[in-house]
Amino acid sequence: MTDDEETIEVVDRMGRRYKLELFKTGRSWFFKLWDGDSRIGQMSCGVNGQILHLSDVNIYDKPRHRMLRWHEQILEKLGLRERRIDNYQRRGLGTALVNYVIDRARKSGFVEIKGEMVARDLQKNPNLPSWYKSLGFSIKGNTISMKLSL
């Protein structure tokens, strides 16, 4: 693993564990959130000087799980294999993801994090502005921002 890659463990509100991967390429940061071999969320950030721009914070409500093998299906039915989840939203994973980004941005010397809330996301989740406020962002119109102290 290089300085441009990092993998950490994230735990949801119910104590279930997930893998979060960070890949940095030039002026972009990409995050992928995994439950086993199923990608359940993602996020990307753009780097512009000392400002990190959030975009596409997405925890899936309908993940695309791979088909279980026959023995995995049996183990799941017997309760010997952890059941897969159909909806990963409202489990604290988006909050954990954004908090991780805030921490990494501080450690990397960024002075501000910015982003835009688009109409489609606001229609899907009208509580989005209050969620960002709860994470410490200020809201002006559809723009979110957070000044970072090092």
Q: What is the mean pLDDT of each run of 10 residues along the chain (150 residues)?
A: 81 93 92 88 93 89 64 68 72 93 92 91 89 93 81
Residue 103: the pLDDT is 92
Domain that holds residue 131: 5-147
For 34, phi then psi, to 5°, come to: -125, 140
Residue 66: the pLDDT is 56
State how far the Cα of 105 lies from the Cα of 130, in Å rounded to an integer.
Answer: 22
For 122, phi then psi, to 5°, come to: -65, -35
State how far the Cα of 112 lies from the Cα of 43, in Å rounded to an integer.
Answer: 17
What CATH number corresponds to the domain at position 140? 3.40.630.30
Q: Report how many domains make up the chain.
A: 1
Residue 31: the pLDDT is 95
Residue 39: the pLDDT is 87
